[in-house]
Amino acid sequence: MALSLPLYPPFLSFTKYSFRFSGCTAAATALFRTLSRPPLNSSPLPRPLHSMATTDCKSSPLQNPLHFPSSAIKIPSVAARTTVESGLNGSNHPSLVVVSFYRFADFPDHASMRKPLKDLCEEVRVSGGIILAPEGINGSICGTRESVERVLSFIQSDERLKGLRMVESPVTPEDEAIHHGHTSSSPLGAGDDAPFRWDHVRVKLKKEIVTFGDPSVLPTKMVGKYVKPRDWNELISDPETMVIDVRNMYEIRIGKFKRAVDPCTNAFREFPTWVDEQFDMEKSEESETANTVDRTLTQSEITEQKSLPRVAMYCTGGIRCEKASSFLLSKGFNEVYHLEGGILKYLEEVPKSESLWEGECFVFDKRVSVEHGMVPGTYKLCYGCKQPVSDEDMKAPEWEYGVSCPYCFSIKSEEEKERARARQRQFETWGVIGGPDKGRRKPNPVKINGEEHDLKGRRFPNSI
């Protein structure tokens, strides 16, 4: 006999040995999948926000964000229910923060930090993504302030990584549905592409912390002059200053500074080619070679021959400008400035009434875009191409949720679109891409109440 528990969502009921679904929705399946896993250690979960689960009680075994409104969740204990409510109201639990950081450094033994750093993040329940490379560290993490500070302190315990450049973003309750993973309408499984999946942190080893493709560019050796957000307006308002946006086209499309030049790049590694073409650097270098047959030119003579302008550049958080400014200096530019802390710091510190920023700023997490004051913007993400789309874009005939948008429809083959549709169907059925076994071979079923289940108690559907 099944004992229905009204304290749980209406689609879930218990028997002595199994769960029973009265409606196989993505939300139900996601919950069932998480409940079937063994619990984490007994340490209490921090207050749920954009990278955390939507419930919060010390005995909670939930491992993934739930795909239904938190108002629908009922906990079968007055104490537990009080914990959840106080967590949602923020009265008894510390708030969460998102911190983006980077540091260029001579770090050849970077791989040795990967395991202890990942272990610490998992221990203190800090989520996000971190890149380690011979040239330094780059990351974006989320957790309670105490936990995040503990991770940052560990990183900076290495003398070479002291002085991380950081931008902090507050976490609001409105962000939660976006940041804790994926909502029920997402075409991807919970956390599969979420940089702030609450129970997961990625620590990757790469050749570069930001891909530029030119190993001779070393921000540790030389870099442009940093400009504080409060001083930025004066610099870029000078008609003698060339303002360059070093981000990619899809980022610039939704927002940029007044007078900014768009290099029209699809990837940061295309920036050197744009510089060479824009300023005829190859011809200038040929001229230099011819002139140095008789004597060596001074740096000021070289710069004068090239007629290179004063440059002010900016990017999202500042890291790309470090490499771009170093590259321009190596090419003979004399005056190279870049916005300290990037667009994010500017939007945080400069009032909208004084701002020269137009539009919204694309960010690489579930917010998609932010506006002044770091409040979430209005753009959504096309899961076919990972580009930002507006409400107007989603009215276009090329828009198909989880498949295509006006920016990728024409470049995607029908085969690619069909694969995307199949992925979307999988998510709508299971709440995760590839079904409950995520594309792995289906295990031999066991019979429970006359229905086939896997060894974890998950019911096999008739079809995907």
- Is 121 labeled as catalytic in the residue annotation? no
Cα–Cα distance, 254 to 369 (Å, whole number): 9
Nearest CA-CA partner of 379 in 421, 411, 407, 417: 407
Cα–Cα distance, 308 to 372 (Å, whole number): 33
Q: Which residue has the tokens 């007629």?
A: 307
Cα–Cα distance, 122 to 231 (Å, whole number): 40
Strands 310-314 and 241-245: parallel
Q: Which two tokens stand for residue 45?
A: 């979960």
163, HSE (Cβ side, Cα atoms, 13 Å) = 6
3 state DSSP class of 225: strand
Cα–Cα distance, 154 to 136 (Å, whole number): 15
Cα–Cα distance, 19 to 11 (Å, whole number): 10
Nearest CA-CA partner of 251 in 21, 31, 407: 407
Cα–Cα distance, 52 to 48 (Å, whole number): 5
CB atoms within 10 A of CB 14: 13
Q: Which is the catalytic residue, given 57, 121, 142, 315?
A: 315
Cα–Cα distance, 236 to 233 (Å, whole number): 5
Q: Which two tokens stand for residue 104?
A: 């260029």
Radius of gyration of the chain (CA): 26
CB atoms within 10 A of CB 67: 22
Cα–Cα distance, 69 to 269 (Å, whole number): 42
Catalytic residues: 315
